[in-house]
Amino acid sequence: MKFFVDTADVDEIRDLAATGMVDGVTTNPSLVAKSGRDFIDVLKEICDIVPGPVSAEVTATDHENMLAEGRKLAEVAPNVTIKVPLTWDGLKTCRVLTSAGTQVNVTLCFSANQALLAAKAGATFVSPFVGRLDDLGLEGMELISEIRTIYDNYAALDTQILVASIRSTNHLKQAALIGADVSTIPPAVLRKLAHHTLTDQGLAAFLADWQKSGQAIL
């Protein structure tokens, strides 16, 4: 499974990219606004740091302007992936952009039927939001299973499932067990993946014993 990092914070992206674990980045208008920086400047910097897909979302809601915004954002760097919302205008825009060779991430997906439409529109990625479904008392991961089954039923559907709105390390594990193609992970959750209390305890015990031995490797 590919790991994308879900942030527009350039310092976080640089720090996490150094681990070698970051295959791509997703941003959205809220994350860009939170960064307090100019969208195009931030996008350029992120694309320089991470060679994989970097999602940049349009903010127009009609097809014509979505297309114009998408084309402008796609000019920023070859690894920009245009993010469009899962509306009819977004799907139309997806079709035009992917036909021209631009990668598209269809976002704000909350149902299996929506994911089917995204795939039929030629989306490179579809982003189902698991956390926001969980917030409503629903089971976000059930949606990922449904989409996996549908896409696997039809070889012609090659859209990648990009699990979004991940809130916990358990979400990530479930996404991997289901066989999602990509997870976009908030930096804090990504950092937690390596943590285990028994790892910390075991390391402390090994180092204490090593110190008692009086030896050094270097």
3-state secondary structure of 27: coil
Select 167 or 199, whichever has its Cβ closest to ligand E4P: 167
- Rounded to the nearest whole angstrom, what is the least distance from the CB of residue 28 to ligand E4P in the complex? 4
Q: How far apart are CA 197 and CA 99, in angstroms?
A: 49
Q: Under the criterion CB under 6 A, does residue 160 sit at the interface with ligand E4P?
A: no
Q: How many residues touch ligand E4P (CB under 6 A)?
A: 11
- Piece of 92-100, 110-118, 126-134, 188-196 that binds ligand E4P (CB under 6 A): 126-134
- Rounded to the nearest whole angstrom, what is the least distance from the CB of residue 52 to ligand E4P in the complex? 14
Q: Do 22 and 5 contact (CB within 8 A), yes or no?
A: yes
- Rounded to the nearest whole angstrom, what is the least distance from the CB of residue 33 to ligand E4P in the complex? 12
Q: How far apart are CA 164 and CA 182, in angstroms?
A: 9
By CB under 6 A, name the one of 132, 145, 169, 181 that touches ligand E4P.
Answer: 132
Q: Do 135 and 167 contact (CB within 8 A), yes or no?
A: no
To the nearest 10 degrees (0 to 180), the angle between helices 140-153 and 169-178 is: 20
According to CB under 6 A, which residues from 39 to 98 bind ligand E4P? none
Q: How far apart are CA 81 and CA 98, in angstroms?
A: 10
By CB under 6 A, name the one of 131, 146, 168, 191 that touches ligand E4P.
Answer: 131
Q: Under the criterion CB under 6 A, does residue 28 sit at the interface with ligand E4P?
A: yes
- Rounded to the nearest whole angstrom, what is the least distance from the CB of residue 162 to ligand E4P in the complex? 7
- Rounded to the nearest whole angstrom, what is the least distance from the CB of residue 127 to ligand E4P in the complex? 5
Select 135 or 200, whichever has its Cβ closest to ligand E4P: 135
Q: Under the criterion CB under 6 A, does residue 127 sit at the interface with ligand E4P?
A: yes
Whether 173 is catalytic is no
* Of 84, 88, 125, 124, nearest in space to 108 by CA: 84
DSSP 171-184: HHHHHHHHT-SEEE
Q: Which candidate in 34, 72, 83, 212 is catalytic?
A: 83
Q: Do 17 and 7 contact (CB within 8 A), yes or no?
A: no
Q: Where are the alpha helices (DSSP H) in 75-217?
A: 88-99, 112-120, 130-135, 140-153, 169-178, 187-192, 197-213
By CB under 6 A, name the one of 7, 81, 102, 107 that touches ligand E4P.
Answer: 107
Active site amino acids: 83
Residues that bind ligand E4P (CB under 6 A): 6, 26, 28, 107, 127, 129, 131-132, 164-165, 184
